[in-house]
Amino acid sequence: MPSVNRKLTVAAGGFVENVMSGSQFEYMPFPAVLTIAAVTDIVAAPVPNLDITFGNAVIVQQGDISGEAVAGGGPRFNEDVVAKDAASAGDRIIVRLNNPNVGAADVNIKIKIDRAG
């Protein structure tokens, strides 16, 4: 099962256009179910959030990211899932990270890719 792991620091009021840019899975090579989990070190509102699209389907819009349970612990697939949905072969996967907070945010994102069918 492939996965994509990213640790990013996003400036106050900043964004990352596509966390998947440069990944071999930015365009899905096969049909799959993607599970996206994320955590941040920011715990006071407004927390960072994600916009997620698979192809032309909007999966999540401004989905809040959970605070880390343990500093440096990373996202847990049982508690910190922002989205889980199916993607078709050829779909472009876009995971846009937004930080509306007045301080920089450290964000840890894990994307699990399970081949469908």
Q: Are 28 and 88 in contact (CB under 8 A)?
A: yes
Tell me how many domains the chain contains: 1
What's 48's domain CATH number? 2.60.120
What pLDDT is stored for residue 107 in this prediction?
A: 96
Contacts of 45 (CB under 8 A, 6+ apart): none
State the amino acid at position 66 in one-letter form: S
Q: Model confidence over 39-62: pLDDT tens digits?
A: 999 988 899 999 999 999 999 999
Domain extent, residue 24, equals: 3-115
Looking at residue 70, its pLDDT comes to: 75
Q: In this structure, what are the phi and psi dihedrals at residue 78, rounded to the nearest 5 degrees? A: -85, -35
In this structure, the number of other CB atoms found within 10 A of the CB of residue 87 comes to: 23
State residue 40's pLDDT score: 95
Q: pTM above 0.85?
A: yes
